[in-house]
Chains A and B, each alone.
Chain A
Amino acid sequence: MLRYTVKRLLQLAVALLGLTLLLFAWFKALPGGPENRMLPDNATDQQREALRQALGLDEPIWSQYGEFLSRLVHLDFGSSLSSGRPVATELADRLPATIELSLAAMVIAIGIGIPLGYLAARKRGSWLDFGAVSGSLVGICIPVFFLAAMLKVVFAQELAWLPTAFRLSPGLDYTEVTGLRVLDGIITGELDVAWDAFLHLVLPAIALASIPLAVITRITRASVLEVVGEDYVRTADAKGLKPQTIRGRHVMKNAMLPVVTVIGLLLGSLFSGAVLTESVFAFGGVGSFIYQATTERDYPALMGFILIIAVFYVVLNLIVDLSYGFLDPRVRVRS
């Protein structure tokens, strides 16, 4: 297992290096370099050249890449062209909101999806199964922004059960620890803050969870259906084991393999959904920031964002691979 872990870590390093190369090449290839964005339209060629020199754009390409790498290592993505503040600071301010939202959505999706998928499989053909299957079809089909808007209209505006926007009610005193506000409220003992932040989180998290929940339910159901027909489950039954032992050790451990893979992939795609959901609920995550950066050709901001998302994605996949190795001994290949 240790060997496997080390091997995967090395692969991760290679993947990240390749990623930086790709990013660098991509930004170099983009038309209309940053100097055109930073200078007014009537700037002279001389002024442009001066800025190119100041930005190091006249250096040989490999030394630009070296410079690029060394800055990335120091988390220096430059300053945002729109706000003038360092990109790292901008992202650091906004990422916790997105992370909190994504985590909440994933907790919902996994916490409901796996048990629901299991029950649907075991009660195959029942109303529960029918409901789970058709419900997940709806969940996959509804666009996230539409569901978010509908939830907001019904539960926040019409019924007024839950807040319509933002992460906290105005006027609440809040002490930041991790930036995940529900967690912070619990840590600092400000339970009113935790509860308020939780209420603000409910609707966006449900909206964002819809697709992963549907996918996890379906995959779990299909996987459990396949596994319960396996010979080793019959063997477990022939041993006279208790139903809960058969369920946990023999059915679920095998059935979780494809589910874990899918969860890893879903976590990555969750971010794009988060951008849309955040904008509906004015949640203040990276979503609106990135939207703005894209329209304004704010390269440093985009670069920082893409890099962080990519690292996030690669690390997630590592975790998925490692848990796969943990779940399935056949994966721990001995080289």
Chain B
Amino acid sequence: MALLEVEDLRVAFGGATAVDGVDFHVDQGQVVGLVGESGCGKSVTSLAVMGLLPRRGVTVTGKARFEGVDLLSLPRSDMRRRRGSDLAMVFQDPLSSLNPVVKIGTQITEVLERHRGLRGDAAVKEAEQLLDRVGIPDPRRRLGEYPHQLSGGMRQRVLIAIAVACAPRLLIADEPTTALDVTIQAQILELLKDLVDSEGTALLMITHDLGVVAGLCDEVNVLYSGRVVESAPARRLFAEPTHPYTVGLLNSIPRLDLPIHEPLKPIRGSIADVIRWKDGCAFAPRCDRVTEECVEGEPPLIGTAHAHRCVMAEEVA
């Protein structure tokens, strides 16, 4: 059984649809990527699964089954007990994600207190071990410091320590390295990989960076305009990208083995040029291979292990 199974997830902010029928699953101990450009709905998907979207003005439908229990229909207090303990999240910007006026130590021990019932010295000792585990030197001193006294990389390590504090079975990381230097990015990814490998934690990695996906993920889901357009094991996705959007993403990566003046190949248009999925392929307005068939109703998901949502896929491949 899948650890997390998201089925036909839809999120609308007032009239604007951000997530338009997303399906994917994460198995025990698996690293799954959710890839797409800004505005494709990947962050909103993760927030919906965590139950962190504001209640007012937002409609969430569909299912997000975690170990068989639909998180979306859980009472708020039950969800609150699961957040931070069964499933936890690491956010994008480590500075703004830590409370500037509360000591690092408290920000870690409060979650230990809440979900593991650790108090006083026991909680502090555990927090110290957690900081040590995420590679922060001199953890005892750091516990008494405030976020502004730490470097960006260290802050992200603290957030990771907080997320893994209660040994969650699913860790969601929303662009955890975007706000960091390249050298630090590699260290943080390495740390995440080590942590999930050693604990058997499943990781849902939300990113726009295909390099991160290649280095980390077992399975990849490519999102476009609030829907999965291609999903495959990472190796197969890179070997035989099928959906024109995936192909476009891969082609737009700068490459060191091409002549230096070769221009980059971006995908033309922007994510704002869409048609609704129920009328046809949302990517059609930006697609080089678009035909009449593309805009004749909703494109189905074709295939199982390596699935895609392109009616013209055979010709593309």
Contact = CB atoms under 8 A, between A and B. Distances in A.
A330 B110 contact: no
B140 interface: no
B148 interface: yes
A257 B101 CA distance: 10
Contact of A232 (B50, B81, B100, B111): B100
A109 to B, nearest CB: 24
Given A245-B110, A327-B101, A329-B148, A239 B96 contact: no
Nearest to A330: B148
A231 interface: yes
A230 B93 CA distance: 11
A330 B89 contact: no
Interface stretch (A168-176, A246-254, A277-285, A291-299): A246-254
B111 A241 contact: yes
Contacts of B93: 231
Contact of A234 (B81, B97, B100): B97
Contact of B84 (A239, A253, A329): A239
Contacts of A240: 79-85, 111, 114-115
Contacts of A329: 100-101, 146, 148
Interface string B133-151: 0000000000000101000
A236 B85 CA distance: 13
Contacts of A249: 99, 102, 106, 110
Interface string B66-106: 00000000000001111111001101010011111110001
A226 interface: no
Contacts of A232: 96-100
Nearest to B92: A231
Contacts of B80: 240-243
A254 B101 contact: yes
Interface of A: 230-232, 234-243, 245, 249-250, 253-254, 257, 327-330
10 contacts: A237-B52, A238-B50, A239-B162, A240-B111, A241-B80, A241-B84, A249-B110, A253-B102, A328-B101, A329-B146
